[in-house]
Structure 1
Amino acid sequence: MTDTTAADATSVSAKPATRPARPFFSSGPCAKPPGWDASKLACQSLGRSHRSKIGKARLQYAIDLMREMLGLPDTHRIGIVPGSDTGAFEMAMWTMLGARGVTTLAWESFGEGWVTDAVKQLKLEPTVIRADYGRLPDLDTVDWSDDVLFTWNGTTSGVRVPDGEWIPADREGLCFADATSAVFAYDLPWDKIDVATFSWQKVLGGEGAHGVLILGPRAVERLTEYTPAWPLPKVFRLVSKGALAEGVFKGETINTPSMLAVEDVIFALEWAKGLGGLHGLIARSNANAAALDKIVAERDWLGHLAVDSGIRSKTSVCLTVEGADEAFIKKFASLLEKEDAAYDVAGYRDAPPGLRIWCGATVDTADIEALGPWLDWAYSAARQA
């Protein structure tokens, strides 16, 4: 296929003959796993108390599946908590920060959110290291005598940290990784991560409102040996009478979970297990990202916000569109949605105007490939409107 330049794109008028079979490219909540249907969900826990024998068993089963899929060592605990990834990360911040200095890294919207929490809410006077959208700061400048907060994969910027090599094994502070778009998409170095959070609604294609909090042994030690100066709401309390509330990490949730959402993520995890587990999920994400890279490379008017491929997300891929402003992107995305060719592909509201295409494991590569001609059509149609 030859390059499609901006001038060529204005002459494209015919709608492509083939649409993506599943045009779900939202970066959260994301596409459901292929073959998903509500009628396929187990229902024995529905209408039952989450504290009943069956309720606790299904919550524990979800935790066990997550541990198995992630290859998570026994040293790390997994808890299902309220408030999606945001709730999980803020729970970690409110319960563990303040024991030593804090460094916050921000290169996209959610990282900036953690800066706001640390500065305005917890009043910690952190060291803040920033980079523009599409870039990373110099990770070698991070002082690991501090607790360090960062997003592993920036959903709103399409930028990820390249690996865990920049995190020292002998760090003094805790490593807090907001990994909501990274867990189940990358092989994460759990020995380098003390606190990780994510949401089922991302790579697993699950439902929102529930977060997952993963704690390494150093984080548990901090929780049991340090008491923050500020009061903690009930939904943040992970310690009782000086000891870790172990029940939270055995399916005894702090507040009432949706058992329908639990059954939904169990479906996704069992689907993932059938693919070969984590490496099967990673392979699907990589294939999707490669297919989108090919589309971008073939079009002069389309580019990556993260120019450096070594730090480019394999899940939430953010694209630049030549000459586009916010109004143009809104029109572009609306045209695709009206044609049932692609849903929810406009970039995040705080990011530079552009597109954002989810390439996580629940998307089929054939649908990414089918999207390319529709991007040409929408670009042409939006320019002519």
Structure 2
Amino acid sequence: MEEAVSSLVQCGQARLTKPTLKPARPYFSSGPCPKRPGWDATLLRDAYVGRSHRTMEGQTRLKQVIDLSRNVLRLPDDYLVAIVPGSDTGAVEMLLWNLLGQNGVEVCEWESFGRDWLHDIASELRVPGLKVYSAENFGEFPDLSAVDFDKDVVFSWNGTTSGVCVPDSDWIPDDRRGLTICDATSAVFCMEIDYRKLDAITWSWQKSLGGEGAHGMIALSPAAVKRLESYRPVRPVPKIFRLTKNGKLLHQVFEGYTINTPSMLAVEDALDALAWAESVGGLPGLLAKTGENFSVLKAWVDTSLDVEFLASNPRTISQSSVCLAFRHAANLPETLRRHFAQRVSEIVAHEEAGYDIQSYRDAPPGLRIWAGATVERSDLEALLPWIDWAIAEARAELSLNG
């Protein structure tokens, strides 16, 4: 251990000059994500509050969120889209409770939330015929070549807590018999996705476009709708999750007639974010901004002696939730590694140069920086010298503390 500490302390021993330029918007959280540039709370002054969301005006605004989401993401015309309760977690659980059980299930997981879905499928829903494809460690990606698409397949497109994403959709056949159920919450608006490869898709307002929490969204292919109308789970389905009644789809849910009461302040905020997305060029503009942001981080990592991508395969590195490990901390006890990562993020935050950059609580100690389109490239460029300086400061503390 002493040798490991010495290696960490000695690497980049020289104290760096404290930076002076700070990000104009030092917000880099991976959830809730930063608001779009120029956002201000006064933009919500015309929110439809104090009125029922069941009125024509309330329904119109909810339907606008659905239609704008479809248009910006370029979802297939025959997919149904709805606003649902509980953020992305509620959206995923809704689909698992409604769709699983007719076929066997294959779960592909490589980070915290994928493991949550696996736990619920195996231990709570107790769906029979379960097979699992897991990454052994955070940062790794499982071999998916043997996935059986005659069964239902559950996976996350982007591992928000590991910085590992699906490299492409070539592994998903067009002629599958089972459904593909995808948690896409930190991938939509950030990555190119062939939605025809996905039958049941979830995301939330608080990711990617910086919306407010508690609201999720789902998109369903015709195959997923057919499953809903032809299959009734043996388990009771709570009202908050129900998408059918007497074997028929609740079509009004996909017209903005939400299952429970939504926040109309959050609805107004979502409308603002989606309008901004269209103003920067829609999906191509969002992807371009995300790509530019990631290029800033990649150039820094490629020349850094201190940090590296947590993702071990370059093809699976997420361009949105960028997860980093410290190069010279691998042999340290986890408690010391976690303390070091915490101190780096605390120092940066104390200087008001970057907030919420510590890795997710269940992930290996390190850093996580959101690089989606609502982040400005200039702010990332200003952040990185502060991280370098904070690493040097945390090293000095470690040396002084023995």
TM-score by length of structure 1 reads 0.97
Asked if the contact 1:63–1:78 (Cα under 8 Å) also holds between the matched residues in 2, the reply is: yes
Which residue of 314, 320, 323 maps to 2:325? 320
2:380 to 358, 365, 368: 368
Matched residues in 2 for 1:210 and 1:374: separation?
A: 34
Look up the equivalent residue of 2:195 and give its one-letter code. W
Per the alignment, in what secondary structure is the counterpart of residue 145 of structure 2? helix
Determine the structure 1 residue equivalent to 2:217.
212
Report what 2:132 is aligned to. 128
Q: How does 1:1-385 map to 2 (within 5 A)?
A: 7=10, 9-41=12-44, 43-125=46-128, 126-131=130-135, 132-324=137-329, 325-385=337-397
Deviates most, 331-340 or 303-312: 303-312
Q: Which amino acid aligns with 1:80?
A: I
Q: Distance in 2 between matches of 1:241 and 1:145?
A: 27
Post-superposition offset of 1:53: 1.1
Contact map agreement 2:47 2:264 (CA 8 A) in 1: no
Whole-angstrom CA distance in 2 between matches of 1:38 and 1:326: 35
Segments of structure 1 that go 5 or more residues without pairing to the other structure are none
- Residues 160, 312 of structure 1: 8 Å contact kept: yes
Q: Structure 1 CA distance, aligned partners of 2:74 and 2:145?
A: 28
C-alpha distance in structure 1 between counterparts of 2:193 and 2:380, whole Å: 25
Measured after TM superposition, the shift of residue 44 of structure 1 is 4.5
Distance 1:42 1:68 in 2: 25
Report if the CA contact (8 A) 1:12-1:376 is conserved: no
Q: CA offset at residue 96 of structure 1? A: 0.6
How big is each residue's C-alpha offset from its partner over 1:141-195, in whole Å with a ceiling of 9 and x where there is no partner? Answer: 1011110000000000001111111100011110001000011112211111100
- Indicate the SS of the match to 2:19: coil
Write the letter of the residue equivalent to 2:108: L
User: Deviation of residue 46 (structure 1)?
Assistant: 1.7
SS in 2 for 1:197: strand
- Check the 8 A contact 1:197/1:212 in 2, yes or no: yes
- The one-letter code sitting in structure 1 at the alignment partner of 2:66 is I
Q: Which shows bigger deviation, 135-144 or 268-277?
A: 135-144
- Give the deviation of 1:329 after TM superposition: 0.7
Note the C-alpha offset of 1:6: 7.2
Runs of 4+ in 1 over 2 A off after TM superposition: 5-10
Q: Is the 8 A contact 2:85 2:214 kept in 1?
A: yes
What is the aligned partner in structure 1 of residue 332 from structure 2? none
Output the CA distance in 2 between the equivalents of 1:323 and 1:258.
46
Mapped partners of 1:100, 1:140: distance in 2: 20
Aligned Cα root-mean-square deviation (Å): 1.2
Q: Is the 8 A contact 1:347 1:353 kept in 2?
A: yes
Structure 2 residue matching 1:198: 3-state secondary structure? strand
Segment drifting more, 159-168 vs 11-20: 11-20
CA contact (8 A) 1:9 1:377 kept: no
In the alignment, the residues of structure 2 paired with residue 187 and residue 249 of structure 1 have an alpha-carbon distance, to the nearest angstrom, of 24
Counting aligned pairs with the same residue, the percent is 51
1: CA distance, partners of 2:163 / 2:47: 39
Q: Number of aligned pairs?
A: 381
The one-letter code matched in structure 2 to 1:271 is: W
Give the Cα separation in 2 of the matches to 1:284 and 1:241.
46
CA distance in 1, matches of 2:39, 2:10: 41
Shift of 1:356: 0.4
Given that 1:16 and 1:377 are in contact with CA atoms closer than 8 Å, whether structure 2 keeps it comes out as yes
Offset from partner CA, 1:66-107 (integer Å, 9 cap, x none): 111011122101110001101000000000100010001111
Looking at structure 2, the residues matched to 183 and 350 of structure 1 have their Cα atoms a distance apart, in angstroms, of 23
Structure 1: distance between partners of 2:181 and 2:297: 30
> How far does residue 7 in structure 1 lie from its aligned partner after superposition?
4.5
Q: For residue 285 of structure 2, give the secondary structure of its aligned residue in structure 1.
A: helix
